[in-house]
Amino acid sequence: MNGRKNYPVFELPRIVKRLSPEPSGPLVLLPTRTTPDAWRLTWSESSRSWAKAAMRVSGILNYAFLIGPQQDMIDDRVTKVVVKVQHANTQWARGRLYKFDAGTRGVIEIRMTGQKSVLRQSELQSKWHQTVIE
């Protein structure tokens, strides 16, 4: 859906986590207490599958990706994951492609060759001027 944009960027959807196996017998509703967002997977549990999917798409479509998880400043939970896409027709301006909101840590860089690396904050800052993912 974002492939035709000049600066394609989108957020990853939430991933549903099954809290318990589905019952095999009659359904009995019991009162349960869950913590807020207990149905969501953590970023550490889901990042590998997102990176693998991006690596496959990268090889097929010749796209490169930056996957940036943004963490909450108080409890370090990932609140959103921003994905920036670069391909032959993108027109990223200088200082925009590698720029993420405050709290973004461990940006995953997937090149068009399918190679994956995790960028530390210093590496991310040193690439601020790039308009393509290399």
Query: Is 60 exceeded by the pLDDT of residue 12?
Result: yes
Report pLDDT digits (tens) over 17-73: 545 555 555 555 555 544 555 556 677 778 888 899 999 999 999 999 999 998 877
Range of 57's domain?
Answer: 36-126
CA dist., res. 117 & res. 124, Å (int): 12
Report pLDDT digits (tens) over 81-129: 999 999 998 999 999 999 998 888 899 999 998 899 999 889 989 999 9
The HSE-up count of residue 55 (CA atoms within 13 Å, CB side) is 12
What's the number of domains the chain is made of? 1
CA dist., res. 89 & res. 96, Å (int): 16
DSSP code at position 4 = T
